[in-house]
Amino acid sequence: MQIALFGATGGTGRQVLEQALASGHQVRVLLRDPTKLEPAPGLTLVCGDVLDPAATRRCVEGSQAVICLLGSGVGSAPVEALGTQSILDAMTTHGVHRLIAVTSMGVGDSREQVSAEFQRAMDTVLQPIIAAKTEQERLIQNSGLDWTIVRPGGLSDGPRTGNYRSSNERSLMAGLISRADVAEFVLHQLTDATNLNQCVAVT
């Protein structure tokens, strides 16, 4: 499958890219600094910024699905909502319908699925990021596309285990999950319609 991948240089993004290429997918990645990724068979690097509509369209063109892993660090200007709108516009332009986006448990209607400590962080130091992710989810849900929003629990750099739970029920509470396992789950959504137009927690 031809995949357009946004956020490939983050921890989870690198896992998605590695597993996608290992599975034989063709992946187009948009990034500002092409030296951050090594060339690999099946990988096409598109130089540019997700906030640049022309660059985003170049990355999406010819793809069968889009995976969005945009993220922002504490203290930086959140890019999730603005970047996602750019991606949605590019998908509409090129007639690409399948979108898998990764946000976080705690966003939107999943607030009660995270600990009280994390909720306090959401209301203070993480507030701008949570607000951007909340708007990101709203944009996706109103896009008219075939979307799945994946909300991981706490992320770790552990190995790929396949030992995790997923659910769109709000009774599933957040726990640690490796970025490698999140990547496996994300890629599984490409060929599984079970979670179509759903927000699904994975932990």
The residues near 146 (Cβ < 8 Å, ≥ 6 apart) are 97, 98, 99, 196, 197
Confirm if 122 and 111 have CB atoms less than 8 A apart. Answer: yes
> Using CA atoms, how far apart are residues 108 and 140, in angstroms rounded to an integer?
12
Per-residue model confidence (pLDDT) at position 74: 79
Q: Is 166 left (phi over 0), alpha (psi -120 to 50) or beta?
A: beta
Per-residue model confidence (pLDDT) at position 101: 98
> Using CA atoms, how far apart are residues 130 and 123, in angstroms rounded to an integer?
8
Model-level pTM? 0.95
What distance separates the 2 farthest-apart alpha carbons in the chain? Answer: 45
Give all domains of the chain, ordered by start, each with its CATH number: 2-202 (3.40.50.720)
Instruction: Give how far the C-alpha of residue 52 lies from the chain's centroid of Cα atoms, to the nearest Å.
Output: 19
> Using CA atoms, how far apart are residues 31 and 43, in angstroms rounded to an integer?
12
Helix (H, G, I), strand (E, B) or coil at 27: strand
- The tens place of each residue's pLDDT in the chain, 203 residues long, gives 999 999 999 999 999 999 999 999 999 999 999 899 999 999 999 999 999 999 999 999 999 999 999 988 877 888 999 999 999 999 999 999 999 999 999 999 999 999 999 999 999 999 999 999 999 999 999 999 999 999 999 999 999 999 999 999 989 999 999 999 999 999 999 999 999 999 999 99
Token pair recorded at residue 134: 């909340």
Q: Which of 80, 113, 110, 101 is nearest to 13 (CA)?
A: 101
Q: DSSP state, 112? A: G
Instruction: Give how far the C-alpha of residue 92 lies from the chain's centroid of Cα atoms, to the nearest Å.
Output: 18
